[in-house]
Chain A
């Protein structure tokens, strides 16, 4: 069974304190690894797609990386507006665009 696990469940950072969120996956064949940001009461907002091990993508203070077993979302010098729940999801071989989601990491950045 395909599985996506995120850690930690919750993370509290001071403004400017860099850290990483982890997404480990056990799937039959990875076609794509997706990162989303979700604010309270809103739908997930697309951030990145990674397709192969070694790939990296960046957007402002966020950088996503991918290995053969896990993905990391690195947050550099976070600001309070980066507070949100970050979700990762996997699309697998033969699964089309069906996504298996992790349960998310709830990030709070404090002043």
Chain B
């Protein structure tokens, strides 16, 4: 099992550009989520999904879109990048949508100039 994989590992964008961060898991997990990690702020939830075709907003959803067409994949789209979106992004997955341990990917470090 590869677990949770994320691509790319690093990305630099100019303000206004769009891009998609990829996330995939091979554990047949129902629940997937996206977090961002900023210094001094802890991990904050952006969007999550409790199964294919079902997504919902987390704490900081503005400027981001998600979709979940398969169980395995949960891409995060930045519509028009802003410097405030400079962060490290982590995807996570869990067996179910109840309070169960989540397994994190290695992260994508994004810089918006």
Interface of A toward B, CB cutoff 8 Å: 4, 31-32, 34, 36, 41-46, 49, 51, 87, 89, 91, 96-99, 101-104
Contact of B44 with A101 in the complex, beta carbons under 8 Å: yes
A101-B42, A101-B43 known; A32 vs B107 contact (CB < 8 Å): no
* A42 CB contacts on chain B under 8 angstroms: 106-107
Contact flags B3-35 to A (C-beta < 8 A → 1, else 0): 010000000000000000000000000010101
Q: Which of A32, A36, A41, A103 is the one whose CB lies under 8 Å from B99?
A: A32
Interface of B toward A, CB cutoff 8 Å: 4, 31, 33, 35, 40-45, 48, 50, 58, 90, 92, 94, 96-107
Q: Which of A36, A97, A102, A103 is the one whose CB lies under 8 Å from B100?
A: A97
Report the separation of the CA atoms of residues A34 and B98 in the bound assembly, to the nearest whole angstrom.
13
* A31 CB contacts on chain B under 8 angstroms: 98-99
Contact of B102 with A87 in the complex, beta carbons under 8 Å: no
Known: A97-B48, A97-B94. 14 other contacts (CB 8 A): A31-B99, A34-B102, A42-B106, A43-B92, A43-B107, A46-B101, A46-B104, A49-B99, A51-B99, A87-B43, A96-B50, A96-B99, A97-B99, A104-B42
Tally of A-B Cβ pairs under 8 angstroms: 66
* B45 CB contacts on chain A under 8 angstroms: 98-99
A34-B101, A97-B48, A97-B99 known; A103 vs B106 contact (CB < 8 Å): no
Task: Determine how close the nearest CB of chain A comes to the CB of B63; give it in whole angstroms.
Answer: 19
Contact of B31 with A97 in the complex, beta carbons under 8 Å: yes
* A51 CB contacts on chain B under 8 angstroms: 99
User: Which secondary structure dominates where chain A touches chain B?
Assistant: strand
Contact of B90 with A103 in the complex, beta carbons under 8 Å: no
Contact of B44 with A97 in the complex, beta carbons under 8 Å: no
* A96 CB contacts on chain B under 8 angstroms: 31, 48, 50, 97-99
Task: Determine how close the nearest CB of chain B comes to the CB of A68; give it in whole angstroms.
Answer: 17
Task: Determine how close the nearest CB of chain B comes to the CB of A94; give it in whole angstroms.
Answer: 11
A-B contact pairs, 6 of them (CB 8 A): A31-B98, A34-B102, A97-B33, A97-B94, A98-B58, A101-B44
